[in-house]
Structure 1
Amino acid sequence: MVKSLPGKMTMGQTLTHHTSLLFPSPSLTGINSQTRRQQSRRSRAASGGHVAPKERADNLSLRRSISEMNLSTKRRKDRKGVLSMAAGEPAEGSPSEESRLKAAEDAEGRSAPPASEEEAVDVTSLEQLTQCLIQPPSEHPYFLQLLGYNEKQEFVIHVMTRRRHIFGRPERRQASDQSSYVDTFLSAPDILPRHCCVVSSVPPADPSQPRGSAMVRPFRGASITHNGAPLHRQVELAPGDLLGMGQHFLFMYKDPRATAAPPAWLPKAWVSPGLVGALACQACGRSLQERQEAFRAYLKSREPQLRYRPQEQEALLAEIVRLQEAPGCKLGPAFLFGLCLEHAARELEPGHLPRLIARIAQLVKEAVWEKIKEIGDRQSENQQDKGESRNLSVEEVAADLRPLMLWMANSMELLNLVQKRVLDIEKDLDLEGVSHNALLSSDLETCDEAMAVLDEVIMSTFQQSVYYLTKTLYSALPALLDSNPFTATADLFHVPEISSMPEGIRGTLAIYQATLELTRDCDLHPDLVSQTFGYLFFFSNASLFNTLMERGSSQSLFLWAKAVQIRTNLDLVLDWLQGVGLGDIAAEFFRKLSTTANLLCVPKTSLLQASWSRLRNDYPALTPAQLQHVLSNYQLGPGRVPPDSWQPPEKERDEIAHSDIFESFTDHPPLILPCDGFRLRLSEPVSDDTLHRQLVRLRRFLWELERESLPANQRAAYGLDPSQ
């Protein structure tokens, strides 16, 4: 007969006590040991236990549901450190679990006489039982483990002791490597070193206000499910939600501080990225009429949304590229490409977005290269047909350049949309750490390469545009130096139409006007418009100035009367540019030519009285070599030579003799891409009717592709006709 120690209960007595609390039974007084042992076995079986030691160990998970209130007060106090172990960090200064268990075993060994094999097994089972019966915290969020990889050796409750809680696989790391910190270790083959991050909300200052939920985000490459649906990006985690990690672990998130809410652990319906899953699925419970109405509403909606499946992506991107040639579309390709990026970032797996960005950039580059080749071939053919002596009209050049200007505008807007997505990836990389996620680093490299392609497209379209425009300007500019604006047909007192301007400047102004209309018609970014005209004005100034310096002495251009005509023509051009909003840019780039004209317009008597030092101070835009060339070739009259006061000092003459008097065309301003002022807003409804029609057409196009991929016997089952 087994004797029990005073104040202690054996395993059988403890479980009998549990059963008596749940199912009251007659007193056991007077029952002999044999009967009491048999009744204890039956009670253990009713509570989930069994007589056999092996089965008791196997059914350990069932005993985890027994309430801790049935343990003796002394036993609970002996195990008060278990809760801190469940949190992953033992309390400071407290003995380890191993030392506590050893002390408990030594105490029992000293106070109890030798027991039977059955009682020894019961004591061991009780030790295991007390480790599993842990009361959840009341002031911290925690995760209740429902499934695990090796459940006999894993904790059931994982407490969030920090605001940010990281799950990961144990690995060897340096103690100083804070980026590798993991709060809860999960030992399974498919768990990453840093698998998942949960950030709890900060409790509001006012206790009466509702508490926010936590946010959960997987690290790149981690297999995560949220309420049964695959999780690819950060989402809200509410109390009661189910969080699966890998193929083995399943947790329920709990927050005892939060207000009780209806259960949220039921898996929600997963929506396919295509139209069938989103609108036409018969399993959603909607009737045929409701599904048809939802489909028609989506087709006509002005919301910036474009749903598609990955298998239709290539056909969709090719269709968007072709839209660039549609009249009135303007920024349509960039907008629709942006909707594709939004859909991929929201619905598809994270690794799909960088590949999509790279593919879009490549398609844009191929389209632009084809247009550049077409323009080059066509201009060569036109010049051969019309003869080399005749240049193409500005209208013909503008028509050829329109596709390039459109792609420049679209590429600039698209680059801005891509940069926003890349910033999101960089934020993820900063959080996860470069050393822990090679996938994110690879994604950033892919995006950087794609952005470099878009940069190249913008640069190439800009260079080709200004090349053909300056080529047209080259033949029109000399008339500004040679023509006389003081004619009877010219209106010099107002800023008139180009047709009433002096004939010598009509060609130049016509090119400026055609360029301005082209940039506005293509919705080119204002900064790119300014830089386009900045380059044209730079070329115009350098070309006119070099012509003036080259022909000044031989064609009597360094003469007061001729200088007045040049000054007047230049003033008419600058006044017209001021009227269209380009006056400041023009004044900056025409400074060299304007300064030279001002010098030549000084009356001869006043100019003869000026000294070299005074002229250098009054006309600083001219280099010493350029000033000396103008003065030495100034036409004072027959037999008159320049005065000695115009001669530069002896120390400057050697430098002047070896200096170039012409302006270099290679010193043009660099192209600087804008950082703000973009037109596209993907968060606002589509207000442009032309763009909305293109969006509806693409939605119908995708629906037809999706329907064609279905078996013939299923196409009619959806009952949706996109033509209705």
Structure 2
Amino acid sequence: MAISAEKAMDVANLEQLSQCLIQPPTEHPYFLQLLGYNEKQEFVIHVMTRRRHIFGRPERCPAPDQSNYVDTFLSAPDILPRHCCVVSSVPPADPSQPRGSAMVRPFRGALITHNGAPLHRQVELAPGDLLGMGQHFLFMYKDPRAAAAPPAWLPKAWVSPGLVGALACQACGRSLQERQEAFRAYLKSREPQLRYRPQEQEALLAEIVRLQEAPNCRLGPAFLFGLCLEHAARELEPGHLPRLIARIAQLVKEAVWEKIKEIGDRQPENQQDKGELGNLSIEEVAADLRPLMLWMANAMELLSLVQKRVLDIEKDLDLEGASHNALLSSDLETCDEAMAVLDEVIMSTFQQSVYYLTKTLYSALPALLDSNPFTATADLSHVPELSSMPEGIQGTLAIYQATLELTRDCDLHPDLVSQTFGYLFFFSNASLFNTLMERGSSHQSLFQWAKAVQIRTNLDLVLDWLQGVGLGDIATEFFRKLSTTANLLCVPKTSLLQTSWSRLRNDYPALTPAQLHHVLTNYQLGPGRVSPECWSPPEKERDEIAHSDIFESFTDHPPLILPCDGFRLRLSEPVSDDTLHRQLIRLRRFLWELERESLPANQRAVYGLDPSQ
């Protein structure tokens, strides 16, 4: 009896031992449970049988569809119905290449740690990484298909951390000298990184706005704002990012509105002393517009960076579904409002810029119609320097040249540069054409061959110069109406007198019937001569011509279309621009001083680093 009882006990122990010796899978990733909520009833190994693995709490009334499907149920009360999602890597096309990393992301509101650090957004998950879920569960991720590597949480050789990691941790065993070296390495680093604490955010943003006044800063504000967004997205809780986007947009708007008011106050008509009213020179106008153009360039780049972040939030909304719809929808609404503010900034800076430029053009353009280019000593067979161009077109070209230099100096997006000149050429064409039509019916008529040749030559010189600076195609498109009219008036009188109305309509389609009729009716044929019968429009068109406007409308300008690509800023690359790098270093010093001042007085000496070293 004793022997049989002993054998029975050995069999039971063997069965229990065999259960403890179960081998983990060799073809699938899995999670090894290290800590649990009710470990006597929980499995130790959780295998990933699908590429997308969801951890969550079992619900009493599960959804009938698969949208809330959960692979591994965790029964602790602080686990959400959908708590965490892990997506395994896709096998490489070349088997000899290493596998990519898996990805882990928490659902909104879920308490997750990754290798001991709080996890707020999606990160890479490597074999050996530790995942904590809620207050009770701890798992180690394993992937037998991946190459063996030391876990990320094991102690590593010292590397230069960021600002907080370098100086705030006294428990890491580093000496003061080591922490000072870490600070200096971070301070001078060209990595696109700007670490700050939430309580320093407002002072940091205000300092970035002030940087716009710095020489050669150009896209500095957008770049530095972008680094703030990167830091918030990477280090701060998810709801912080939309609020930051909204605050940045509001600060940019306030800065732009202040500049618009300053420019308006400097206009001659708004000065208290109006004894000597005069137009501002193009140099003065360009200097006034430079801050607006800089903000237009920065707002456009910033809008692109914000749109990328909004796409990430939209992906989160698609993934998390209705369970967190209210929170994410609120985030998206905040971001949409902020993007609308940036849209408004871009539109306003564009409108103000072209308004003051066209205001300057208005007084310079008439000389193009009145001046004789053939009295100039310049060689008109090629495009000369601006200073040797005929005097009648120098003023107009000087405005175009100053505008081009301004857009380049401000690093304005190429699409916005094109549209700025599109508007200026639209205005120039409409203004010159309307003046030509208005004076065509007066005693100063320009509708004669000799005058038309001068106008055509001046216009050709302008178009050739614009072609030489890369604006030829845009100019040709918008000057079509004026160019067509000049071509018509340059036709020799004998040939023009023999051309029928239908032929003229076919040869000069850019002119409306009313405009063509106005030119022909007021064409200077000479004393006592009347228009030939062949110029008369058909009877059915005459009533429409009589009631049609001959002038071009200034309200039909092309709409501003914001670009979708071609942006300049790259937040994932080291900072190669020396000026931008100096500004980044200055901001890092600024933040360190703020952080140091917040320490108790008896601790400041410990962290009393000299940033100039």
Question: TM (normalized to structure 2)?
Answer: 0.91
Q: Which deviates more, 482-491 or 567-576?
A: 482-491
- Distance in 2, Cα, partners of 1:349 & 1:685: 26
The structure number with the bigger radius of gyration is: 1
- 1:280/1:291 contact within 8 Å kept: no
In the superposition, relative to structure 1, how do residues 546 and 268 fare at CA in structure 2: closer, same or farther (>3 Å)?
Answer: same
- Distance in 2, Cα, partners of 1:210 & 1:657: 78
The alpha carbon displacement at 1:468 in A equals 0.5
Q: Which residue of 2 aligns with 1:368?
A: 256
Q: Does 1:585 align with 2:585?
A: no
The alpha carbon displacement at 1:692 in A equals 1.7
The alpha carbon displacement at 1:637 in A equals 1.6
Q: Which deviates more, 183-192 or 708-717?
A: 183-192
Q: Which residue of 1 aligns with 2:345?
A: 457
The alpha carbon displacement at 1:148 in A equals 3.4
- Distance in 2, Cα, partners of 1:223 & 1:565: 78
CA displacement, residues 444-470 of structure 1 (integer Å, 9 cap, x when unaligned): 222222111111111100000000010
The alpha carbon displacement at 1:342 in A equals 1.7
In the superposition, relative to structure 1, how do residues 211 and 683 fare at CA in structure 2: closer, same or farther (>3 Å)?
Answer: closer
- 2:347/2:560 contact within 8 Å kept: yes
In the superposition, relative to structure 1, how do residues 270 and 707 fare at CA in structure 2: closer, same or farther (>3 Å)?
Answer: farther
- Distance in 2, Cα, partners of 1:169 & 1:201: 25
CA-atom RMSD, angstroms? Answer: 3.4
SS in 1 for 2:53: strand
The alpha carbon displacement at 1:665 in A equals 0.7
SS in 2 for 1:672: coil
Match of 1:699 among 550, 566, 588: 588
Q: Does 1:325 align with 2:213?
A: yes
In the superposition, relative to structure 1, how do residues 486 and 204 fare at CA in structure 2: closer, same or farther (>3 Å)?
Answer: closer
In the superposition, relative to structure 1, how do residues 506 and 449 fare at CA in structure 2: closer, same or farther (>3 Å)?
Answer: same
- 2:219/2:411 contact within 8 Å kept: yes
Identity of aligned residues (%): 94
- 1:229/1:270 contact within 8 Å kept: no
CA displacement, residues 286-319 of structure 1 (integer Å, 9 cap, x when unaligned): 2222222222222222222211111111111100
Q: Does 1:672 align with 2:558?
A: no
- 2:116/2:130 contact within 8 Å kept: yes
Match of 2:549 among 660, 684, 689: 660
Q: Which residue of 1 aligns with 2:322?
A: 434
SS in 1 for 2:272: helix
- Distance in 1, Cα, partners of 2:357 & 2:157: 58
CA displacement, residues 652-686 of structure 1 (integer Å, 9 cap, x when unaligned): 11221221111111110111111222222222222
CA displacement, residues 131-182 of structure 1 (integer Å, 9 cap, x when unaligned): 9997654543333334334445544433322121101122366765322111
CA displacement, residues 419-459 of structure 1 (integer Å, 9 cap, x when unaligned): 22222222333322355443233222222221111111111
- Distance in 1, Cα, partners of 2:373 & 2:99: 78
The alpha carbon displacement at 1:272 in A equals 13
SS in 2 for 1:266: coil
The alpha carbon displacement at 1:515 in A equals 0.9
- 2:440/2:446 contact within 8 Å kept: yes
- 1:168/1:194 contact within 8 Å kept: yes
CA displacement, residues 340-388 of structure 1 (integer Å, 9 cap, x when unaligned): 1222222222222222111111111110011001111111466654558
- 1:567/1:594 contact within 8 Å kept: yes
In the superposition, relative to structure 1, how do residues 690 and 253 fare at CA in structure 2: closer, same or farther (>3 Å)?
Answer: closer
Q: Which residue of 2 aligns with 1:539?
A: 427
- 2:372/2:454 contact within 8 Å kept: yes
The alpha carbon displacement at 1:495 in A equals 2.1
CA displacement, residues 487-546 of structure 1 (integer Å, 9 cap, x when unaligned): 254543332233332222222111111111111111111111111111000000001111
- Distance in 2, Cα, partners of 1:413 & 1:485: 43
Q: Which deviates more, 393-402 or 497-506?
A: 497-506
In the superposition, relative to structure 1, how do residues 265 and 401 fare at CA in structure 2: closer, same or farther (>3 Å)?
Answer: closer
The alpha carbon displacement at 1:569 in A equals 1.6
SS in 2 for 1:536: helix
In the superposition, relative to structure 1, how do residues 515 and 292 fare at CA in structure 2: closer, same or farther (>3 Å)?
Answer: same
In the superposition, relative to structure 1, how do residues 492 and 713 fare at CA in structure 2: closer, same or farther (>3 Å)?
Answer: same
In the superposition, relative to structure 1, how do residues 288 and 602 fare at CA in structure 2: closer, same or farther (>3 Å)?
Answer: same
Q: Which residue of 2 aligns with 1:612?
A: 501
In the superposition, relative to structure 1, how do residues 296 and 580 fare at CA in structure 2: closer, same or farther (>3 Å)?
Answer: same
In the superposition, relative to structure 1, how do residues 544 and 176 fare at CA in structure 2: closer, same or farther (>3 Å)?
Answer: farther
The alpha carbon displacement at 1:128 in A equals 12
Q: Which residue of 2 aligns with 1:594?
A: 483
- 1:329/1:691 contact within 8 Å kept: yes
Q: Which runs of 5+ in 1 are unaligned?
A: 1-115
SS in 2 for 1:144: strand
Written as runs of structure 1 = structure 2, the 5 A alignment for 1:446-485 is: 446-485=334-373
- Distance in 2, Cα, partners of 1:290 & 1:571: 69
- 2:56/2:74 contact within 8 Å kept: yes
The alpha carbon displacement at 1:486 in A equals 2.4
SS in 2 for 1:198: strand
The alpha carbon displacement at 1:264 in A equals 6.3
Whose relative contact order is higher, 1 or 2, with alpha carbons under 8 Å and at least 6 apart? 2
The alpha carbon displacement at 1:479 in A equals 1.6
The alpha carbon displacement at 1:258 in A equals 5.2
Q: Which deviates more, 197-206 or 524-533?
A: 197-206
- Distance in 2, Cα, partners of 1:159 & 1:587: 67
The alpha carbon displacement at 1:572 in A equals 1.7
The alpha carbon displacement at 1:123 in A equals 15
SS in 2 for 1:137: coil
SS in 1 for 2:67: helix
- 1:210/1:259 contact within 8 Å kept: yes
CA displacement, residues 382-408 of structure 1 (integer Å, 9 cap, x when unaligned): 665455862111111111111000101
- 1:215/1:235 contact within 8 Å kept: yes
Q: Which deviates more, 127-136 or 493-502?
A: 127-136
In the superposition, relative to structure 1, how do residues 180 and 384 fare at CA in structure 2: closer, same or farther (>3 Å)?
Answer: same
- Distance in 2, Cα, partners of 1:405 & 1:235: 38
The alpha carbon displacement at 1:647 in A equals 0.8
SS in 2 for 1:684: coil
Q: Which residue of 1 aligns with 2:378?
A: 490
- 2:162/2:186 contact within 8 Å kept: no
- Distance in 2, Cα, partners of 1:439 & 1:712: 41
The alpha carbon displacement at 1:557 in A equals 1.1
- 1:179/1:432 contact within 8 Å kept: no
Q: Which residue of 2 aligns with 1:300?
A: 188
- Distance in 2, Cα, partners of 1:535 & 1:341: 34
Q: Which deviates more, 171-180 or 567-576?
A: 171-180
Q: Which deviates more, 215-224 or 489-498?
A: 489-498
The alpha carbon displacement at 1:228 in A equals 1.8
- 2:296/2:412 contact within 8 Å kept: yes
- Distance in 2, Cα, partners of 1:210 & 1:484: 74
In the superposition, relative to structure 1, how do residues 564 and 168 fare at CA in structure 2: closer, same or farther (>3 Å)?
Answer: same
Q: Which runs of 5+ in 2 are unaligned?
A: none
In the superposition, relative to structure 1, how do residues 381 and 595 fare at CA in structure 2: closer, same or farther (>3 Å)?
Answer: closer
In the superposition, relative to structure 1, how do residues 254 and 688 fare at CA in structure 2: closer, same or farther (>3 Å)?
Answer: closer
- Distance in 1, Cα, partners of 2:248 & 2:518: 54
Match of 2:311 among 423, 441, 458: 423
In the superposition, relative to structure 1, how do residues 267 and 345 fare at CA in structure 2: closer, same or farther (>3 Å)?
Answer: farther
In the superposition, relative to structure 1, how do residues 567 and 288 fare at CA in structure 2: closer, same or farther (>3 Å)?
Answer: same
Question: TM (normalized to structure 1)?
Answer: 0.78
- Distance in 1, Cα, partners of 2:151 & 2:305: 39
SS in 2 for 1:537: helix
- 1:273/1:308 contact within 8 Å kept: no
Q: Which deviates more, 392-401 or 712-721?
A: 712-721
Written as runs of structure 1 = structure 2, the 5 A alignment for 1:278-357 is: 278-279=166-167, 281-357=169-245
- Distance in 1, Cα, partners of 2:347 & 2:95: 58
In the superposition, relative to structure 1, how do residues 216 and 607 fare at CA in structure 2: closer, same or farther (>3 Å)?
Answer: same
Q: Which deviates more, 663-672 or 246-255?
A: 246-255
- 1:368/1:404 contact within 8 Å kept: yes
Q: Which residue of 2 aligns with 1:95?
A: none
- Distance in 2, Cα, partners of 1:172 & 1:721: 61
SS in 2 for 1:146: strand
SS in 1 for 2:228: helix
In the superposition, relative to structure 1, how do residues 201 and 395 fare at CA in structure 2: closer, same or farther (>3 Å)?
Answer: closer
CA displacement, residues 80-122 of structure 1 (integer Å, 9 cap, x when unaligned): xxxxxxxxxxxxxxxxxxxxxxxxxxxxxxxxxxxx9999999
The alpha carbon displacement at 1:625 in A equals 0.8
Written as runs of structure 1 = structure 2, the 5 A alignment for 1:108-257 is: 136-171=24-59, 177-202=65-90, 214-257=102-145
- Distance in 2, Cα, partners of 1:507 & 1:583: 18
